[in-house]
Amino acid sequence: MSDHENQEQFEGLLSRYEPVIGLEVHCQLKTESKLFCSCKTQFGALANQNTCPVCLGLPGVLPFLNHQVVDYAIRMAIAIGATVREKSVFARKQYFYPDLPKGYQITQYDLPYCENGHLALNSGRVIPIERIHMEEDAGKSIHGDNASYVDLNRAGIPLLEIVSAPALRSPLEAHEYLRKLRAIVRYLDISDGNMEEGSIRCDANVSIRRRGVKELGVRTEIKNLNSFKNVERAITYEIIRQADLLDSGTAVKQVTLLFDAASGRTQVMRSKEDSPDYRYFPDPDLGLVQIDQARLEAVRATLTELPVQKAKRFHEVFGLTDADALQLTDEKELALFFEDVLSRVSPIVPAKIVANWILTEYLREHNNRQWTWPATIVTPESFAQLLRALCEGTLSGKMAKMVFDEMASTGANASEIIKLRGLLQINDADEIRAVVAQVVREHADQVALYLTGKQKVFGFLVGQVLRLSQGRFNPGMVNDCLKEAIHESSAKN
Amino acid sequence: MALIDKAMVEKIAALAHLRLSEDEVTYYQEQLGKVLGFIEQLETFESSLLPSDWRADLHLPPTPERDDQALVSTAMERVLSAAPRVVGTAFQVPRIIE
Amino acid sequence: MAAIDPTTLKASELAAAVNRGELRAGSVADHYLNRVETLHPLFNCHIHWDKAEVRNELEKQIDAIEVARYAKKYLPLAGVPISIKDNIMVEGQIAACASRLLAPHRAAYDATVIQKLKAAGALLIGRTNMDEFAMGSSNENSAFGPVHNPWNRRHVAGGSSGGSAAAVAGSLVPLALGSDTGGSIRQPASFCGVYGLKPTYGRVSRYGLVAFGSSLDQIGPLARNVEDLALLYDVLAGPDGRDSTASQRVPLPTQLALPSGNLKGLRVATIREFMGEGLDSEVRKSLESALETMRQLGAETVEVSLPHLAASIPVYYILATAEASSNLARFDGVRYGARSQKPGLNLKEMYLQTRSEGFGREVKQRIMLGTYVLSAGYYDAYYNRAARMREVIKREMEGVFEKEGVHVLVSPTAPTTAFELGQKTQDSLSMYLSDVYTLAANLAGIPAMSQPMGKDSKGLPIGLQLMGPSFAEERLLQVAYQFERHQPPMGVPDLIPSQL
């Protein structure tokens, strides 16, 4: 089936069924050391290089909480307007797996540190976030042909698990929600938010119900979605699969699924009956996590502007449209790039022009060429030179685009390119008049035609002048000089 | 003692990752039955001294926190030298089938 | 230099002699290593013990003690031999918890208490036998065979720190470390006629102690007299940045002498619920005469009632096994220990086989009991209810100290003296019931100790238990010190040859 047919089928399906989606997002915090021990959080070159007795789960070791993790966790809670529990509890979640060294994961269960947050989508819909809790990551298993190999470098790295309400209504909304979460953790500087490298991981709960029906359908859980694209693909696939089942009168079974990115399908990992009995209980090796008002306020005081606040300011102070402001603040680095460029060109270049150029020209190249942040190919300073030249009138719009193309492909500075190529716009009236005089002389017929009232010919004449100048004459001045020359010549006649 | 049947003994053993022989199942059914029978008397002690929503974990002392400072441990070498099976610096286990 | 027999010295005297240079740490080490070697076949106190290896490992420590002496730095345990229970980590040494599963396991780090002992100049002489993973009350649940009671080899040494108590009783070492989750220091101390202290929960770091019941476990000292017990306790106690449950309170050195020189003004209480059914008549008599001694020393003796203590056994066996089932999940054969050698096992079979081959019968039973009480549908009926009842017991005990003005609670440490080997091994419940007097202190987190108060008609020691409010270790030690001075000494068991 083609993508197009798929799309049509999917839209048809959405007219009958409403998807109900919740996301559980695991986000690695970028602390220096692990959650309960002093090992480095960077990935070691060697397996088990960044481990110690505690994260190896040796007999006799005990966990000791990292202060920074709690502060980062508080930042996140404040950012989503959530309630922070004054007393929260670490619990043990018990299951056997080789990369889980203690046979249990230290996490938070029924008393998480954070509850009742929310996140607004661009449509204005507000998605409730039910809870966030702190927990430790597991290690990694590498699978060979006959054996598996356990590397515990990742074991004990701090995670936040962020659980949304089942309030997302489409794969696109799920995608947007996830992007916004990522933007927040990057704004807060608590995670590098890199999905491909696993610092953000996502599980999705998906069910569908007939339009107009209130009760929720049976849900399935899709595990370990490791890219934005796969989140959308897996959820879409799952919605279609459930709709097919319901259409054929078959009930959806409550199962846990794994998404296979290669085939684009979900596969059953385990059924509800096989769901493990985790035997949660409070971890007796740790006390209460206490977060009082003073600590909350101290962390709040360290917070910088969040995406929503930034977008609002861009709209109110700079007069950007809501859409532009939202798009510019979608990623922290993009917003910072905008602010950086603007501060270098203000007030010569209006904010709207900076925004337009960044959202069209700059972003196009950024995406096509897969640039990463911070910008090193086209630096804020170079981009500012370009926009300044444009607004000061030393570059035409067309020339500016040419210069930008060269900046993007060579990484050279705008001012260097302009100088090297002699691209500066010519505003010298005498030089322009000389060429204009030549054109008027060589195209006497056209001039005559113009004088009879054929206005269109004027454009042809301007074109001739610009061609001879290789596009470097200031077009406004060419206009003026040409009119002047024609009038002079007619007066002479 | 009917408190615990063979199937339950086997279920618990599976959860705890223990493999029991038939004799052991019989033995533990009897022993656990006796102990659980004794433990049942706890029901007679339900106390009104505590509010019904009182829970122990909310009355623990606050857990201390340490500075976020990375240190290098040298324990890994010793652990690897004594581990049951190691390849390179990774622990080897029978292949995990998902 | 006149030859001093180190065996005749208290640990405190030994340390003083070594610090003054009257005794060399090396010769003390040799003396005690010989005793351990010679007496080992009689009692089986130590496990995986190699004299040459231990002597070799001690070289560095002996040098360090010499260096400290030249620098005139007083080391409180200079040259004092000590045996360590097999569940406490000493870097580079086997730490098997008397389990087959951990038999090949060498510790990769030092427990906090071991760092303190090394810094104090102690000589780590050997690793003592115990009930596997500290689960037991007779030291019969050991993969390395039972410990025999030094007063009568046909009787148990008690458990789970049976090896530590027997080693101290037999003068194999002057001091030993034990761990106490439900009486595991006090009950063997009582059975072997020595002194043992379970400190307040959080007073001694648990970092490096293999966890059994994490909310109950405490490391504590065993010794042959109160002075030595206090000496070792002072070295162990204090905050630790690696144990979140360790108290931040900095302890002061224990002063043993009471200002009054007697027990005047001290209110001592017995517990009505501990004086009834199951209490051996000779043990009861012994307690009564101990109370009489205390009265003669000026103490006031009263009886209090603690009705909820009867719930101690169910509460303890729910909470301790729940925690244990979780704590012992890490023994999976992946990173350390004895992985099953059966060929062709898949991952799950490897887990099952390793754990089933490695754990002994009692350990499996407690893991299953703990798994059961935490499993879906049973949590509230068992774990939750037990956790609440634990609080009731705790408040009841605190109330005795705070509201009724009691300074020290006393009871027998165990309802009987050391029972015979094999007597209770077929019935775990009867074994559990023998812990009845010791569990409460662990549940309430309060300090408790056992000291000898006589012998029964079979010549087996009887232990007196003292319990105080949290962080009142010094008070317990002071009372014990006064009592000790008015007791006939226990002497040396007949089994120990006088010339060694």
pLDDT in tens, C6-35: 898 999 999 999 999 999 999 999 999 999
What pLDDT, on a 0 to 100 scale, did the predictor assign at position A5?
Answer: 67
For residue B8, tell me if it sits in a domain. yes
pLDDT in tens, A193-227: 988 889 999 999 999 999 999 999 999 999 989 89
pLDDT at A165 > cutoff 90: yes
Q: Give the per-residue pLDDT at A4.
A: 62
Q: How is chain C split into domains, by residue range?
A: 1-500
Are the Cβ atoms of C368 and B75 closer than 8 angstroms?
A: no
Residues A485 and A392 in one domain: no
Q: Check pLDDT > 90 for residue C467.
A: yes
Q: Could A53 and B73 be called an inter-chain contact, meaning their C-beta atoms sit closer than 8 Å?
A: yes
Cβ neighbours for C233, distance < 8 A, ≥ 6 positions apart:
C197, C199, C220, C221, C254, C473, C477
Residue B57 lies in a domain: no
Name the residue with tokens 């971890």: A283
With tokens 């208290």, the residue in question is C10
Q: What is the mean pLDDT of residues C142-170?
A: 97
Work out the average pLDDT over A264-293. Answer: 92
C:109-168 residues touching chain B, CB 8 A cutoff:
109
- A434 located within any domain: yes
Q: Choose between C242 and A367: higher pLDDT.
A: C242
Quote the pTM value.
0.91
Catalytic, out of C12, C85, C171, C312: C85
What's the pLDDT score for residue C431?
86
CA-wise closest residue to C80 among C126, C113, C124, C22: C124
Selection from A267-271, A369-373, C461-465 with the highest mean pLDDT: C461-465
Give pLDDT, residue B98.
57
Chains that touch A (3 or more CB pairs under 8 A): B, C
CA atoms C388, C392, C398, C403: torsion sign? positive
* Planar angle of CA A15, A21, A25, nearest 5 degrees: 150
Q: Indicate the Cα dihedral angle C430, C435, C439, C441, nearest 10°.
A: 170
Q: What is the mean pLDDT of residues C59-78?
A: 96
The reply to whether residue B90 touches residue A47, judged by beta carbons under 8 angstroms, is: yes
Whole-number pLDDT of residue B1: 40
Task: Give Cα B61 to chain centroid, integer Å.
Answer: 23
Helix, coil or strand: residue C133: helix
Token reading at C241: 């940045």
| CATH number for position B20 | 1.10.20.60
Instruction: Give yes or no for residue C363 having a pLDDT over 50.
Output: yes
Count of residues in chain B: 98
Cβ contacts of C315 within 8 Å, gap of 6 or more:
B42, C386, C389, C390, C393, C439, C443
Query: How far apart are the C-alpha atoms of C382 and C364, rounded to whole Å?
Result: 19
Same structural domain, A343 and A488: no
Q: Which candidate from A66, A150, A269 shows the least CB-CB separation from B93?
A: A150
Contacts 24+ apart (CB under 8 A), A270-279: A276/A95, A277/B15, A277/C375, A277/C376, A278/A93, A278/A94, A278/A95, A279/A92, A279/A94, A279/B15, A279/C325, A279/C326, A279/C371, A279/C374, A279/C375, A279/C376, A279/C379
In the predicted model, is pLDDT for residue C3 greater than 80? no
Same domain for A275 and A317? no
Domain range for A460 = 429-492
User: Which of A98, A277, A286 lies nearest to residue C244, judging by beta carbons?
Assistant: A286
Question: DSSP state, B31?
Answer: H
Q: A143: which chain B residues are within 8 Å (Cβ-Cβ)?
A: 95-96
Contact A159, A135 (CB under 8 A): yes
A89 in contact with chain B, both atoms CB, cutoff 8 A: yes
Q: Are residues A42 and A67 in the same domain?
A: yes
Mean predicted lDDT score pLDDT of chain A? 91
Per-residue pLDDT, A429? 83
Contact C63/B at CB under 8 A? no
Q: Is C154 exposed, middle or buried (0-12, 13-18, 19+ CB in 10 A)?
A: exposed
A93-109 mean pLDDT? 96
Answer yes or no: do A50 and A161 share one domain: yes
Residues A281 and A171 in one domain: yes
Co-location of A258 and A223 in the same domain = yes
Reported confidence tier of residue A450, pLDDT bands at 50, 70, 90:
confident
Contact assignment for A284 to C109 by CB distance below 8 Å: no
Assess whether pLDDT exceeds 90 at residue A272.
no
Q: How far is C99 from chain A (nearest CA, A)?
A: 13
- Of the residues C137, C142, C160, C164, only one is catalytic, namely C160
CB contact under 8 A, C102 and A53: no
Q: Which of residues A433 and B64 earns the better pLDDT score?
A: B64
Which residue, A299, A318, A339, sits at the end of a domain?
A: A299
Check residues A271 and C150 and name the one with the higher pLDDT: C150
pLDDT in tens, C228-279: 999 999 999 999 999 999 999 999 999 998 877 899 999 999 999 999 888 9
Question: How far apart (Å, rounded) are the C-alpha atoms in residues C485 and C479?
Answer: 10
Q: Is C160 an annotated catalytic residue? A: yes
List alpha helices for C172-240, DSSP H.
Answer: 186-192, 226-236
Among B11, B17, B63, B78, which would you mutate to test the A interface (most chain A Cβ atoms within 10 Å of its Cβ)?
Answer: B63
Q: Is residue A333 part of a domain?
A: yes
Q: Given CA atoms A280, A199, A40, A374 in this order, what sign does their dihedral have?
A: negative
Q: What is the pLDDT of residue A471?
A: 72
Domain boundary among A279, A299, A319: A299
Q: Tell me how many domains chain B contains.
A: 1
Between the alpha carbon of residue B37 and those of residues A320, B30, C361, the distances in Å are: 74, 10, 20
Number of folded domains that form chain A = 3
Residues C20, C23, C27, C30: is their CA dihedral positive or negative?
negative
Say if residue C92's pLDDT is above 90.
yes
What residues make up the domain containing B13? 1-44
Q: Nearest C-alpha of chain B: how many angstroms from A289?
A: 6
Band of pLDDT at residue A1, cut at 50, 70 and 90: very low
Tokens describing residue C405: 């003005």
Q: Is A2 within a domain?
A: no
CATH code assigned to C1-500: 3.90.1300.10
Given A142, A151, A289, which is nearest B63 (Cβ)?
A: A289
Could you give the residue ranges of the DSSP H alpha helices within C359-427? 361-374, 385-402
Q: Would residue B4 count as lying in a domain?
A: yes
Q: Tell me the chain B residues in contact with residue A152 when contact means C-beta distances shorter than 8 Å.
A: 91
Look at residue A40 and tell me whether its pLDDT is greater than 50. Answer: yes
Q: How far apart are alpha carbons A413 and C103 in whole angstroms?
A: 68
> In this structure, what CATH number is given to the domain that contains residue A443?
1.10.10.410
Kindly list the residues of chain B whose beta carbon comes within 8 Å of any beta carbon in chain A.
Answer: 15, 17, 56-58, 60-73, 75-76, 79-80, 87-96, 98
**Cα(A100)–Cα(C440) distance, rounded to whole angstroms?**
34
The pLDDT tens digits for C302-336 are 999 999 999 999 999 999 999 999 999 999 999 99
Residue C177 β-bridge partners: C84, C221
Average per-residue pLDDT in chain B?
91
- Whether residue A102 is found in the same domain as residue A187: yes
Residue B74 lies in a domain: no
> Is-catalytic flag, C85?
yes
pLDDT of A493: 56
Mean pLDDT of A461-483: 83
More confident residue, A264 or A396: A264
Q: Report yes or no on A240 lying in a domain.
A: yes
